[in-house]
Amino acid sequence: LIIDPAYLQTSQDRKLFRQALAAAREIGHRDELADWRERELLPGALNGEAEIDNFIAQSVITHHHPCGTCRMGKDVDAVVDANLRLKALDNLFVVDASVMPNLTAGPIHAAVLAIAETFARWHRGTL
């Protein structure tokens, strides 16, 4: 499975990133922060939207946490049951973020560990 979120592919995406960069620069240049900054390191002088968009495209990263591609649930679209068993097979379990029916409010690492630990205990017979 390849998940392509297609970041920065629309004019709205690029507009929002330009606005975020402008806000960050405005905050960074405030007088209140003068004692903690010498000069702006990045992005430096940029002329026009094309240069700003290029900087953004070369610089931004994501904390892309795909989940829900094999989501757990009782409804017809869910492919994994409450025991993390793939509904179509008896001995295949899915124990990763793909079973999460919804995205967590923060990074998903802790939720994935909880899923894995719970499954391990259940599978071992200690739960």
Tens digit of each residue's pLDDT (9 = 90 or more) over 89-111: 988 999 999 999 888 888 899 99
- Asked if residues 71 and 78 have their Cβ atoms less than 8 Å apart, the reply is yes
Q: pTM here?
A: 0.56
Question: What positions carry a catalytic annotation?
Answer: 65
pLDDT of residue 1: 64
The amino acid at residue 8 is L
Alpha-carbon distances, residue 109 vs 1, 27, 59, 117 (angstroms): 20, 31, 24, 12
With a cut of 70, which residues of the chain have pLDDT below it?
1, 127
Rg (C-alpha) for the chain, rounded Å, is: 22
